[in-house]
Amino acid sequence: MKQRYFAEIAYDGTAYHGWQYQPNAITVQEKLTTTLGKILNAPDFKVQGCGRTDTGVHASQFFLHFDADLNMTIEKLIFVSNQILKKDIVIKRVFPVGEKMHARYSATARRYHYYFGTELNPFDRLYVSYFKQPVNIEKMQEACKVLFEYKDFTSFSRSNTDTKTNDCTIMDAKWYQEDGKIIFTIKANRFLRNMVRAIVGTMLEVGEGKLTIDQFREVIEKKDRSAAGKSVSGHSLFLSEVHYKEGIIPNV
C-alpha cells in the first residue's frame, strides 16, 4: 500500500530551467522524478513541488511530496538518491505524512532572499548580482512598507499566467546589508510568477532615484506589468523557507 512522503531538498538552479517540467529543457522536477522513479522501480512515479522557481533560481529549502510503497529504508533511499543525483540537488530528509498533505497547497508561507554584491567577487559570481550604481537603501526600505498596503500584485506578475487571482498577503519585506552584500528578503502566503524579481527590479529604480515612493505606489495600483521595472536576474534569487502548519514538518 502506498504511503505519502514529504522530502526536503535543496538545489542549485544554475543548470536547470526552473523547477517545473518543460518540453525540451531539463528541470529539477524532471531530474528528481527520473532518479526516484528508477530507484523505486516505479515507471509512473511523480513528485509534486511546493511551488515553482524560474530558470536559474535556487532553493536552500524546498519541499516535495510523492506516493510510494517503499522497498527500502528511508535512509537508503536518501543515500542512493544523492549518489545518483548531481551534486547540485541534495535530498536532506524524507518523512511520512498524511495522505491529504500537499507540498504546495498545504504550505502557508514562503520566503525568498535576493543578493547583490557591492564589489566584484569571483566566488559569488553564480549566486550574487553585481550592481555598480549607488542605491539608497533607506528609500528601498520605505518602498517595502508600501507592499503591505496592497493585495493585488498584478504589476509584478508575468503576463498570461494561469492563476485564478493575483492577490498575495505580504508578511515581511525588507532590505539590509550583511558581509558586503545588499540583501532583500520577502515572505508571503503565495507568490506570482516572476513576482520577486519584478519587485526587486522596481525597488532598485526607487533606490536609484528614478521612482519616488508615490510613483512606486502608482505602479502597484496600475495593475499592469509594463508599469513596473525590469526583472532582475534569477541567479541571485533563493527560495529560502517554506512554512506549514505546526506539526506537519518534524523537528530536525
Question: One of 12, 44, 54, 214 is an active-site residue; which one?
Answer: 54
- Fold agreement between 3-105 and 108-241: yes
**CATH number of this structure's domain 3-105:** 3.30.70.580
Report CA dihedral (21, 6, 102, 160) to the nearest 10 degrees.
-20
Q: Which of 67, 64, 58, 109 is nearest to 235 (CA)?
A: 58
Fold of 108-241: Alpha-Beta Plaits (3.30.70)
In the chain, where are the structural domains located? 3-105, 108-241
One digit per residue, pLDDT tens: the chain, 252 residues?
899 999 999 999 999 999 999 988 999 999 999 999 999 999 899 999 999 999 999 999 999 999 999 989 999 999 999 999 989 999 999 999 999 999 999 999 999 999 998 888 899 999 999 988 889 999 999 999 999 999 999 999 987 666 789 999 999 999 999 988 999 999 999 999 999 999 999 999 999 999 999 999 999 999 999 999 999 999 999 999 999 998 788 875
**Residue 82 to residue 31: CA distance in whole angstroms:** 12
Which alpha helices (DSSP H) does 51-174 contain, by range?
74-84, 137-147
**Residue 78 to residue 19: CA distance in whole angstroms:** 20
CB neighbours of residue 196 within 10 Å: 28
Report yes or no: 183 and 113 within 8 Å, Cβ to Cβ: yes
C-alpha cell at 28: 529539477
The DSSP-derived string for 150-209 is -SB-GGGS-SS---S--B--EEEEEEEEETTEEEEEEEES---TTHHHHHHHHHHHHHTT
Residue 54 annotated among the catalytic residues of the structure: yes
Report yes or no: 109 and 188 within 8 Å, Cβ to Cβ: yes
